């Protein structure tokens, strides 16, 4: 790319700036290490203290009670596996590393149990993991410890075991309170059961209670979306996520849409849903912490998710988990049999480890800025003035307010934030790291239009 081609990223109009939302697709500036080099590099990482960067832990629980219609993260059916064996092996994996210099050298600010469906495990199993982390690792005094899960799993026994062990944040995927739409998604709990569970947990008044809602669901309208927003505001919640449904091609829901059995709202309608939710929560006095997350109380910080975007190092444990240490990304084996086999030999079950990233800090600064709706482009490149024509065009389309490269996203811009991020990533790569352009374009596998191929992510 000898000169910046800004026009291909121009917004079409204020009414519909882009034809679709581009999926979040990170730039890559490192290659996987050869298999014979992984063990040596991993040992070096474990013995090298990390300073000057926030640190997190991700724990992966790869089991689900059912396969939700929209979910692309399903791995293993819960009832077919011995989860006690998995937890015992997970504890052994943590024990392999918990006394290493890299783990003990600085505080850990957040722990996140994701999946899969962590809350689907029997009462007491996740508590064993939390207890080990708290006893053996340098967790910060205000460390955020999140359990992610489904509303039907948060019965009294499991809820009490999480809290007694030290969990202080529950992120519960509801998607919608509308019972009819929930049934189309394979969700069983009714509106009344959901409300009762949230109110019961809220009365305990000792965790940050967060609810996930989705818009763009089959059969959803602006009329049915408003009661979801109003009920969420009335519940004893500390935080609320509003996510657009991303239709993953491998999911049961996508197959039903392909067969004409269901119809989903178009992207313009999704934008209307988002703007409706943003305006309502702003009027209710909620604080927007990120493009998709709001806090009603100061108890909710959304710390893990925000720090990930800022480039924090994060340790990862469990089959299918992914992490990042000192610029190296890694992934653990998704296949449970392989995971168990490597753990039995006393080895970290690494499936992949990359070399160190070559791009520098600008990429994480950009991602973090887009996530919170404020970007200081002159701090990311010495050539920010070259982006001015694009920024002014986006401003005319109502996506942002630009003051000589100091950018603030509007509500519309926050809905289309993934498109803005993809464009700015590619343009800043051309300005800051032009030597990586040819390789990066091959990695991105572009369409003829120059738009990245969509890759999807959802939240459970």
Residues 6 or more apart whose Cβ sits within 8 Å of residue 359? 27, 29, 429, 432, 433, 436
Helix (H, G, I), strand (E, B) or coil at 25: coil
- Residue 62: burial class (beta carbons within 10 Å; 0-12, 13-18, 19+): buried
What CA dihedral angle connects 227, 192, 240 and 213, to 10 degrees? -70
What Å distances lie between residue 172 and 110, 183, 271, 291, 356, CA to CA?
17, 17, 23, 18, 35
pLDDT of residue 70: 63
Residues 64-77: what's their mean pLDDT? 68
C-alpha angle 381/387/390, rounded to 5°?
150
* pTM exceeds 0.85: yes
Query: Do 377 and 407 form a contact (C-beta atoms < 8 A)?
Result: yes
Both tokens of residue 324? 């990042």
Q: What is the rounded distance in angstroms from the CA atom of residue 110 to the CA atom of residue 121?
A: 21
Residues 6 or more apart whose Cβ sits within 8 Å of residue 134? 165, 166
Q: What is the rounded distance in angstroms from the CA atom of residue 286 to the CA atom of residue 419?
A: 25
Helix (H, G, I), strand (E, B) or coil at 193: helix
Task: Specify which residues 113 forms β-bridges with.
Answer: 59, 147
pLDDT of residue 252: 77
Least confident of 36-40, 169-173, 256-260, 349-353: 256-260
Q: What is the rounded distance in angstroms from the CA atom of residue 318 to the CA atom of residue 112?
A: 12
Q: What is the rounded distance in angstroms from the CA atom of residue 426 to the CA atom of residue 403?
A: 21
Query: Do 32 and 354 form a contact (C-beta atoms < 8 A)?
Result: yes
Q: What is the rounded distance in angstroms from the CA atom of residue 373 to the CA atom of residue 100?
A: 37
- pLDDT band per the 50, 70, 90 thresholds, residue 246: confident
- pLDDT band per the 50, 70, 90 thresholds, residue 442: low
Q: Which long-range contacts (CB under 8 A, 24 or more apart) does 287-290 make?
A: 288/373, 289/239, 289/372, 290/371, 290/372
Of residues 235, 178, 187, 246, the one with CA closest to residue 211: 235
Both tokens of residue 65? 């009670």
> What does the pLDDT look like over 172-181, one tens digit per residue?
999 999 988 8
Q: What is the rounded distance in angstroms from the CA atom of residue 34 to the CA atom of residue 13?
A: 47
Report residue 305: phi and psi, to 5°: -65, -40
pLDDT of residue 449: 32
Does 455 score more than 50 pLDDT? Answer: no
Of residues 396, 388, 389, 427, the one with CA closest to residue 413: 396
Does 123 score more than 60 pLDDT? Answer: yes
Does 31 score more than 90 pLDDT? Answer: no
Does 454 score more than 90 pLDDT? Answer: no
Report residue 325: phi and psi, to 5°: -135, 120
pLDDT of residue 100: 96
CA-only gyration radius of the chain, Å: 22
Helix (H, G, I), strand (E, B) or coil at 423: helix
Q: What is the rounded distance in angstroms from the CA atom of residue 285 to the CA atom of residue 387?
A: 34
- Residue 434: burial class (beta carbons within 10 Å; 0-12, 13-18, 19+): exposed
Provide the phi-psi class of 15: left if phi over 0, else alpha when psi is between -120 and 50, else beta. Answer: alpha
> What does the pLDDT look like over 149-206, one tens digit per residue?
999 999 999 999 999 999 999 999 999 999 888 887 777 789 999 999 999 999 999 9
Helix (H, G, I), strand (E, B) or coil at 418: helix
Write out the DSSP string of 309-373.
HTT-EEEEESTT-EEEETTEEEEE-SSHHHHHHHHHTT---EEEEBPPPSS-THHHHHHHHHHHT
Q: What is the rounded distance in angstroms from the CA atom of residue 253 to the CA atom of residue 264?
A: 10
Least confident of 31-35, 208-212, 285-289: 31-35
Task: Specify which residues 241 forms β-bridges with.
Answer: 212, 293
Is the Cα torsion angle 238, 244, 249, 254 positive or negative in sign? positive
pLDDT of residue 65: 79
116 upstream amide cis, omega within 30 of 0: yes
Q: What is the rounded distance in angstroms from the CA atom of residue 6 to the CA atom of residue 368?
A: 22
């Amino acid at each position: 790319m000898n000169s910046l081609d800004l026009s291909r990223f121009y917004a079409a109009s204020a009414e519909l700036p882009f034809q679709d939302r581009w999926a979040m697709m990170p730039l890559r500036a490192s290659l996987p290490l050869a298999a014979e080099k992984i063990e040596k590099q991993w040992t070096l990482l474990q013995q090298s203290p990390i300073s000057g960067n926030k640190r997190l832990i991700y724990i992966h629980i790869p089991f689900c009670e059912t396969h939700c219609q929209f979910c692309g993260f399903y791995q293993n059916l819960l009832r077919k596996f011995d989860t006690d064996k998995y937890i015992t092996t997970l504890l052994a994996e943590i024990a392999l590393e918990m006394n290493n210099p890299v783990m003990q050298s600085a505080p850990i600010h957040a722990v996140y149990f994701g999946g899969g469906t962590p809350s689907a495990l029997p009462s007491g199993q996740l508590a064993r993991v939390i207890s080990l982390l708290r006893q053996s690792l340098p967790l910060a005094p205000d460390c955020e410890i999140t359990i992610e899960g489904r509303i039907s799993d948060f019965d009294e026994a499991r809820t009490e075991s999480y809290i007694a062990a030290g969990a202080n944040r529950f992120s519960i995927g509801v998607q919608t309170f509308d019972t009819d739409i929930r049934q189309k998604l394979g969700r069983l709990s009714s509106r009344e059961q959901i409300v009762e569970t949230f109110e019961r947990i809220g009365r305990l008044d000792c965790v940050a209670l967060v609810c996930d809602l989705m818009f763009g669901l089959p059969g959803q309208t602006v009329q049915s979306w408003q009661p979801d927003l109003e009920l969420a505001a009335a519940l004893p919640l500390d935080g609320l996520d509003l996510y657009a449904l991303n239709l993953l091609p491998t999911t049961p829901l996508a197959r039903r849409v392909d067969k004409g059995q269901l119809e989903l709202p178009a992207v313009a309608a999704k934008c209307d849903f988002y703007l409706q939710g943003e305006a309502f929560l702003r009027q209710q006095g909620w604080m927007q912490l990120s493009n998709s997350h709001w806090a009603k109380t100061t108890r909710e910080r959304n710390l893990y998710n925000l720090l990930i975007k800022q480039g924090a190092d994060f340790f990862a444990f469990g089959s299918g988990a992914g992490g990042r240490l000192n610029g190296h990304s890694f992934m653990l084996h998704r296949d449970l049999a392989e995971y168990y086999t490597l753990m039995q030999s006393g080895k970290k079950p690494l499936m992949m480890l990359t070399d160190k990233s070559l791009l520098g800090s600008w990429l994480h600064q950009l991602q973090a800025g887009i996530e919170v709706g404020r970007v200081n482009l002159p701090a990311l490149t010495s050539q920010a003035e070259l982006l001015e024509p694009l920024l002014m065009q986006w401003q005319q389309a109502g996506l942002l307010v630009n003051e000589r490269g100091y950018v603030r996203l509007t509500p519309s811009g926050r809905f289309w934030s993934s498109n803005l991020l993809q464009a700015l990533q590619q343009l800043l790569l051309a300005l800051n790291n032009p030597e990586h352009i040819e390789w990066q374009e091959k990695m991105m596998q572009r369409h003829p239009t120059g738009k990245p191929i969509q890759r999807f992510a959802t939240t459970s």
